[in-house]
Amino acid sequence: MVQLTDDLIEAFNAIRVIPFATAGIDGAPNVAPMAGKELVNRDTILVMDNFMQKTVANIRENPRAAIYLWGEGVKGCFQIHGDVTYVTEGEQFEAFRQKTLARMPKAPAKGMLVIKITDVYTCSAGPGAGDKIL
């Protein structure tokens, strides 16, 4: 399993809203902004399902996703890929749900995506753009 470096963890934490990309079995892409996110450890990201429709439908058909990290506070540009599981119960879900509700009391917090990181690529401009770094 891929383990994020300290620099990548810093980049993830610097971004308040991440672009979260999925594709259905037909290959049609979907990108949605996600603010309810948490890095659980160096290889797992959680994303809360508050209002997902296409994202969840895509994950059920094709359990892969990508996250893009670029912006203020990020040194570089990174794309994180992972295998995704949709979860609606259990200790980890309840803990993340409570954190979400503490921030947004009216959020539905109906499920969560568990992303196991499989690859990381650079997307910074230059000769190495698109290179796999982890």
C-alpha closest to that of 95 among 14, 43, 18, 38: 38
Q: Are 105 and 48 in contact (CB under 8 A)?
A: no
State the pTM of this model: 0.95
Q: Which CATH architecture has domain 6-122?
A: Roll (2.30)
Ramachandran bin of 47, using left for φ above 0, alpha for ψ from -120 to 50, beta for the remaining angles: beta
By C-alpha distance, which of 68, 84, 55 is closest to 12?
68
Question: For 32-61, what is each residue's pLDDT tens digit?
Answer: 999 999 999 999 999 999 999 999 999 999
Q: Which of 43, 40, 41 is nearest to 1 (CA)?
A: 43
The per-residue pLDDT for range 53-88, each reduced to its tens digit, is 999 999 999 999 999 999 988 999 999 999 999 999
